[in-house]
Structure 1
Amino acid sequence: MARIVFDLDGTLIDSAPDIHAGANQLLEAEGAEPITLADTRSFIGQGASVFIEKMRAARGIPDSEHARLLAAFVALYETLVTRTEIYPGVVAALEALAAEGHSLGICTNKPLVPCKAVLNHLDLTRFFGVILGGDSLPTHKPDPAPLEAAFAALGDGPEIYVGDSEVDAETARRACVPFLLFTEGYRKTEVEALPHTAAFSDFADLGALVRRLVARAA
């Protein structure tokens, strides 16, 4: 059976509404104009520090405020769970993959504490044998090291990575693993322009894609 590692935000869950609320809470305290939900989606993907960097740039907040705002956001982040929703079909797909004997993991650039907080809130933790956040290792995606560490923790079997973004596509490319692209997440690039093994818009299709890759690996 396969080792299947998933990205989190934009792949399994739509967390942008929570992150949007948290960001605007910080901006309100700074006396700055709020960012839009579309802004938020476009800023997600490379970890909390890059998110705050992009948020600051959008509102003209100087670099000197970065560390303070990042610390405030990280402190708030683990409470940002109530507006987050699981994408349709995810739970059924994870249940089916687990029932087939696949080993499942998470590799995200979201810091580990808020990652676990939202997984626990949504009752998704039970599916995953390993959960790595953006601060679990010295480097984060698109460096392949976190993804490779997640696969290593899951034991043996063909490797498959499932994600939604440019960062995920590049991570899979660097790790030289098959990449299944969920097209309904936070990507900013056309599907055709992203390197991927296969793309899907409905989690009901994930099982068949996995079985095809496992058969190919065999």
Structure 2
Amino acid sequence: MTALIFDLDGTLIDSAPAIHTVSNAVLTARGYPALDMATVRSFVGKGAPHLVRCLLQNAGENPDGPLFDPLYADLVTRYETEVEGNTLYPGVVEALDALAAMGCAMAVATNKPERPALAAIRHVGLERFFPVILGGDSLPTRKPDPGMVHAAQARLGRDRALYVGDSEVDAETAVNAGLPFLLYTEGYRKTPVEKMPHQAAFSDFSRLPALVKGWSWP
């Protein structure tokens, strides 16, 4: 059967509230003003180093200056314990249950650091579905480089794989990996659906098992 490789933030979970809380905690601890949700959400998707650089740049600091390392360390540490803002999108558990019953092997490939990703996945109760979880610091590269997706597929041991995500980074990753892309439209994308490369789109997770079951491979 098919392997399914999922993005995490904006795909399986709405993590923006948690990221917003953690980002403001590391900023205000250093005397910088808090940011609104929309601003922080616009920084999400390219990994924690990108987020930290955006926070510093927004605060008027050098994004690669001496403040980067301590702010990054603080953010990642908080990520692992301040997980209350992570919530499942509707229908995710039911869809994953159905996919597992179909014999699909499933993995997570996220630009969030691995330990915070594991903490968020455990918090929402999804760890039983994913024998393979790769984070932004698991390999030398991050998405949209295809290495993480290829590694996840190899570890699942399946010849065929679909990639499920929500963002422009995910669409680019799927293209780079040579995998069909299933776009969850209710996540963090900024581009209109019709302008993003994808092979199928869904707004409701109850549709995902049928999409996978009926997938026509070339």
Shared fold (TM-score greater than 0.5)? yes
1:80 to 58, 70, 82: 82
User: In terms of mean alpha carbon deviation, does 156-165 or 1-10 score higher?
Assistant: 156-165
Runs of 4+ in 1 over 6 A off after TM superposition: none
> Which residue number corresponds to residue 93 of structure 2?
91
Is the contact between residue 169 and residue 195 of structure 1 (CA under 8 Å) also seen in structure 2?
yes
For 2:62 and 2:159, how far apart are their aligned partners in 1? 48
- Structure 1: gaps (5+ residues): none
> Which residue number corresponds to residue 139 of structure 1?
141
Is the contact between residue 19 and residue 80 of structure 1 (CA under 8 Å) also seen in structure 2?
no
For 1:154 and 1:75, how far apart are their aligned partners in 2? 29
Between the two proteins, what is the percent identity of the paired residues? 53
The aligned amino acid for 1:4 is: L
For 1:113 and 1:135, how far apart are their aligned partners in 2? 9
For 1:40 and 1:183, how far apart are their aligned partners in 2? 19
> Which residue number corresponds to residue 25 of structure 2?
25
Look up the SS of the partner of 1:162 in the other structure: strand
Q: Deviations over 1:129-174 (max 9, x none)?
A: 2110111000010000000000111112421000000110000000
> Which residue number corresponds to residue 119 of structure 1?
121
Is the contact between residue 180 and residue 196 of structure 1 (CA under 8 Å) also seen in structure 2?
yes
Match runs of 1:33-182 below 5 Å:
33-63=33-63, 64=65, 65-182=67-184
CA RMSD of aligned residues (A): 1.1
Is the contact between residue 169 and residue 196 of structure 1 (CA under 8 Å) also seen in structure 2?
yes
Paired positions, count: 216
The aligned amino acid for 2:52 is: I
The aligned amino acid for 1:24 is: N
> Which residue number corresponds to residue 4 of structure 1?
4
Q: TM-score, normalised by structure 2?
A: 0.96
1:203 to 186, 202, 205: 205
Look up the SS of the partner of 1:143 in the other structure: coil
- Structure 2: gaps (5+ residues): none
Q: TM-score, normalised by structure 1?
A: 0.96
